[in-house]
Amino acid sequence: MIPPRYFALIPAAGIGARMGGAMPKQYGHVAGKPMLRHVLDTFAACPAITHTFAIVSGADPHVDDMMGCGPSLAGRVTIVRDGGASRRETVLNGLLAMRPQIADDEWVLVHDAARPGLTVAMIDRLLAELSEDPVGGLFAMPVVDTLKRVDDERRAQETVPRDGLWAAQTPQMFRYGLLRKALEQAADVTDEASAIEALGLAPRMVAGSARNIKITHPSDLPLAELYLKGLHD
């Protein structure tokens, strides 16, 4: 029996406006190298991952410098310069680019370029939990904070029950054919699991990690530094 193959797809065409920097946030340095490079190095170091595709904008002026900032990733990572105007478009363009190398029943792990805390051990755990799943799934964390719904003036209108609520992370892992179908049929979605849900399917939640923080605001950087330098559990 032929074992399943796994491919990583990293949408990295965004501009990271909320970070307010001079360049897209995925190229911002944390713990000594660009966030995107942390992500690519991790997938390249994972023996279970057959190949990794990073999808950047066609006019991206930073990706070549980023690829040259460490050991060569030749043969393990392909840069696709065909990012779209939205995450959905970028991921779909990436799926189209990887079509010659992947079969419909093989797995794609879509991971945020701004989540540099991912580890090989975490990837292996996700594969172990989802490789036999009929739908696929994603890392996520149960919501522990009290949630408030607010009005336009940011005044609390109600407390939202948090029972059964999980905060989605990445990677989000689905079979190629299913994920492509879902994204082709979906309206614009904020993550891949939403597109799968729109088909009437239920992705499985796999307990994620606080280490897998998404860098959204400058205030997120110090915590990410602690994780990546091994100074925080």
Amino acid at 71: P
Q: DSSP readout, 11-34?
A: E-----GGG--SS-GGGSEETTEE
Distance CA 55, CA 94 (A): 6
Using a 10 angstrom Cβ sphere, with 0-12 exposed, 13-18 middle and 19 or more buried, the burial of residue 229 is exposed
Say if CB 41 and CB 52 are below 8 A apart: no
The model's pTM? 0.93
Distance CA 66, CA 26 (A): 10
In tens, the pLDDT along 75-90 reads 999 999 999 999 999 9
In tens, the pLDDT along 188-231 reads 899 999 999 999 999 999 999 999 999 988 889 889 899 988 76
Strands 147-150 and 156-160: antiparallel
What are the chain's domains?
Answer: 6-136+168-228 (3.90.550.10)
